[in-house]
A and B are shown apart, each in its own frame.
Chain A
């Protein structure tokens, strides 16, 4: 007989704390929860507090000035301009990355000779840091030292050198090329995992029913790939809306502030204009917007089939 077998005042056996359902689960989750609180919840709370105060980067005092920091946002031309550009960039990069990653994943899905080398080659850019990648492409695109223009001219693909970063459209396209090179392999891996998880007999059944390759892709592959696609969309949209390094290094927000993103505007507010209060207000607004966007995405992508 154990303590747990002794009758309680209600007539039922008393339960040890460790037998209560959920307690063990909470204990397992506690370390991760602690990390999340320390590295996410507390910093967000601090950012919210800073956004309610006049908070210079250096020195003080810090005095409550709500809603001044938020009221300043509509007059921040650079930030407002950055919203439009960031959304445009995000839409373009989502389509570009998902399509390219899907094509690559379909290419390397079937085991055949050389597929290992292909998978490695497509994935290798993902291990290069984003800032390093942007510096690399800055050199490649350079009008004075870059090899891309001479190479394309030598191959007869272009007659005159291309001004890769000199116009707003070219600067955007050049950055999209950089980001596709850098991330397509990474998202290919996610989609490949999803593709390989689809049972083969479903494809067999579809072929027996007379389905062609496109029909099988549209009515079998895509629906079953929904969880992987949802993950890709959430990650790419979040990354797009938070775009910073690639534009900071490659274009410096130019030409003529045409490639300034929301985060660049926030960064300038904090570290050029030395105003952490206003920068925090922008960060809080962006956080709310990101949560809303991702909630909408997930509700659309995860809806159950009837």
Chain B
């Protein structure tokens, strides 16, 4: 069960955990260490003036210290941006990385006490919630002044738009995809250049990899992580032409035929043993670990994982669109947006960081070079993407994907105690996926209707 790490490595990790926790304060957010070293880049331009029109609003760089919160899942990218910005600007950004599972609660508590940071990041699916509650300042005119405004990721801009005003900009892009280990593909007699396109193909391939031996797993899935499930299961529904929400995000349509088909597929994948048993309790914090060992055939991860998981002799990563029942393609255009808090008194300095973060050099040298997707569609065809077919796949997916829109999305879908996770776990790991959906879907709709 679970990844098979060496005993000494576990003991060392356990002792390190003890030392870390004994030195930590209780409560509050901790600054997390990035999973990998931040990419090395040349110092960025001291301002974005060289790439901006004269009328662009770039804020001020006058030595102000601005505070920033970001979710732990974007720690690597955000830290890289902050390090580069601080090295090349008079302003300094103080970054706090918050565990993603607690982010909304921490934001809510801080907002109630008027203690939000200057720069507030957030899951793109939370953007309608934040914008409607007035957590961010209106950035419409600032964004419109940028020469590349029209090429900012449309789904992120739309998610951050409320009553015709835009309250945040894209910060980190993350699209979901099917990752597969080409080394295991070859061992199992599968063609790495021909990954599964339908759910039936996926099960057949997972079964073959599982059959390699007791140490191997067909698929590792974060079965106790609601946000992960939303991110990787929705595309299979969308790819088959289905919907998960109505237009204004107040009714859940997880009881559609397309959706039940997908959940039934995962139920059978788990029951047959091709989905590893330890998937049931994976809450997302260690979901990359199993795939990183090179013993698992498939994982459903975000595009960020390409730059985060290290390839080894046992693991060479291929990526493909997430399969659907009929071979149709879609993705969840996720990631984070970032805005200036409504309570911030350093809006101009905060905007200086945001405007700089979206310029050509930063997007190419920090994101594209490190195999992350730029937040601008006009930079999709960059020299780094062209050298790696996997990035071409991600960039194509951005145009084919969706971002669900609902004011109460997190509370009803992502929340660990919300109705969606209960329904999904009953569907995945119970005896009857369709019955689980019949029972659970109305509770999601009731939740979505909340104020």
Alpha-carbon distance between A75 and B260 when the two chains are bound, in angstroms: 28
The answer to the question of B211 belonging to the interface, with a C-beta cut-off of 8 Å to chain A, is: no
User: Contact: B283 with A252, CB < 8 Å?
Assistant: yes
User: Contact: B135 with A161, CB < 8 Å?
Assistant: no
User: Contact: B425 with A145, CB < 8 Å?
Assistant: no
The answer to the question of A166 belonging to the interface, with a C-beta cut-off of 8 Å to chain B, is: yes
A260 contact set on B, CB distance < 8 A: 417
Contact of B11 among A136, A150, A163 (CB under 8 A): A150
- With CB as the reference atom, state the residue of chain B lying closest to A164: B281
Contacts from A to B (Cβ < 8 Å): 56-59, 78, 128-133, 135-136, 139-140, 142-148, 150-151, 154, 160-161, 163, 165-166, 252-257, 260, 264-265, 267-268, 270-276
User: Contact: B104 with A271, CB < 8 Å?
Assistant: yes
Residue-wise interface mask of B (204-248) relative to A, using a CB-CB cutoff of 8 A (1 in contact, 0 not) = 000000000000000000001000000000000000000000000
User: Contact: B411 with A273, CB < 8 Å?
Assistant: yes
Alpha-carbon distance between A268 and B412 when the two chains are bound, in angstroms: 11
User: Contact: A268 with B22, CB < 8 Å?
Assistant: no
B422 contact set on A, CB distance < 8 A: 256-257
User: Contact: B104 with A272, CB < 8 Å?
Assistant: yes
Q: How near does chain A come to B47, taking the closest CB pair, in angstroms?
A: 35
B224 contact set on A, CB distance < 8 A: 254-255
User: Contact: A256 with B11, CB < 8 Å?
Assistant: no
Q: How near does chain B come to A13, taking the closest CB pair, in angstroms?
A: 57
User: Contact: B450 with A145, CB < 8 Å?
Assistant: no
Alpha-carbon distance between A256 and B17 when the two chains are bound, in angstroms: 26
Interface size on B, residues (CB 8 A): 47
A-B contact number at CB 8 A: 123
Contacts from B to A (Cβ < 8 Å): 1-3, 5, 7, 10-11, 13-15, 17-18, 21-22, 24-27, 101, 104-105, 108-109, 111-112, 133-135, 224, 278, 280-281, 283, 286, 289-290, 410-411, 415-418, 422, 425-426, 450-451
Alpha-carbon distance between A132 and B22 when the two chains are bound, in angstroms: 7
A139 contact set on B, CB distance < 8 A: 13-14, 17-18, 21
Extra contacts besides A59-B134, A132-B24 (12): CB < 8 Å: A59-B133, A132-B26, A135-B21, A136-B18, A139-B13, A139-B18, A142-B286, A147-B10, A150-B10, A150-B11, A252-B101, A265-B417
User: Contact: B281 with A143, CB < 8 Å?
Assistant: yes
Alpha-carbon distance between A142 and B14 when the two chains are bound, in angstroms: 9
Supposing A131-B27, A132-B21, A144-B289 touch, asked if A268 and B7 sit within 8 A by C-beta, the answer is: no
Alpha-carbon distance between A165 and B280 when the two chains are bound, in angstroms: 11
A135 contact set on B, CB distance < 8 A: 17, 21, 24
A163 contact set on B, CB distance < 8 A: 1, 281
Supposing A130-B26, A273-B411 touch, asked if A264 and B134 sit within 8 A by C-beta, the answer is: no
Interface majority SS on B: helix, strand, loop or mixed? helix
9 A-B residue pairs with Cβ-Cβ distance under 8 Å, sorted by A, are A58-B135, A136-B18, A145-B17, A147-B11, A163-B1, A252-B416, A254-B283, A257-B417, A264-B417
| Candidate in A144, A146, A270 with the most chain B CB atoms within 10 angstroms | A144
Contact of A145 among B25, B280, B286 (CB under 8 A): B286
Q: How near does chain A come to B285, taking the closest CB pair, in angstroms?
A: 9
- With CB as the reference atom, state the residue of chain B lying closest to A128: B22
A56 contact set on B, CB distance < 8 A: 451
B15 contact set on A, CB distance < 8 A: 147
Q: How near does chain B come to A161, taking the closest CB pair, in angstroms?
A: 5
Alpha-carbon distance between A78 and B443 when the two chains are bound, in angstroms: 12
Q: How near does chain B come to A183, taking the closest CB pair, in angstroms?
A: 15
User: Contact: B101 with A57, CB < 8 Å?
Assistant: no
Q: How near does chain B come to A213, taking the closest CB pair, in angstroms?
A: 39
Alpha-carbon distance between A133 and B5 when the two chains are bound, in angstroms: 24
- With CB as the reference atom, state the residue of chain A lying closest to B417: A253
Alpha-carbon distance between A252 and B5 when the two chains are bound, in angstroms: 25
A147 contact set on B, CB distance < 8 A: 10-11, 13-15
Alpha-carbon distance between A268 and B416 when the two chains are bound, in angstroms: 10
User: Contact: A143 with B417, CB < 8 Å?
Assistant: no
Q: How near does chain A come to B17, taking the closest CB pair, in angstroms?
A: 4
B26 contact set on A, CB distance < 8 A: 129-132
A144 contact set on B, CB distance < 8 A: 2-3, 5, 278, 286, 289-290
A160 contact set on B, CB distance < 8 A: 1
Alpha-carbon distance between A260 and B422 when the two chains are bound, in angstroms: 13
User: Contact: A143 with B24, CB < 8 Å?
Assistant: no
